[in-house]
Amino acid sequence: MGEASEQATMMQVLNALREEMRVMRQDLGERMTRVEQRPPPLQPVRNVDRFLNPNNRRYGVPVHDNPRLAPEPAD
């Protein structure tokens, strides 16, 4: 029974801290403006299928940095 009351007390403390944090965020938000800007959204990588399609490798799309290790083109 003592354990249940301890847990209830901890939940009350946790809820009070959450409420205090919410109020502090609102208070700071009113006083401060955002200093740093959000980064621009990531752009999708275009033509990724050219690199992944094995049929395009013989047409000069570089896949390997070392040409000695590159597979021979299929004829």
CA distances from 44 to 39, 47, 51, 53, 56 (A): 15, 10, 15, 18, 21
- What are the structure tokens assigned to 3, written together? 């354990």
- Report the pLDDT averaged over residues 43-62: 63
On whether residue 58 sits in a domain, the answer given is no
**Residue ranges making up the domain that contains 2:** 1-35
On whether residue 64 sits in a domain, the answer given is no
Residues 6+ apart with CB under 8 A from 61: 50, 51
On whether residue 56 sits in a domain, the answer given is no
On whether residue 3 sits in a domain, the answer given is yes
> Is 34's pLDDT higher than 70?
no
> Is 57's pLDDT higher than 90?
no
Pick from 17-31, 44-58, 59-73 the range whose average pLDDT is largest: 17-31
> How many residues appear in the chain?
75
> Is 47's pLDDT higher than 70?
no
On whether residue 51 sits in a domain, the answer given is no
Give the pLDDT score at 12. 95
Number of domains in the chain: 1
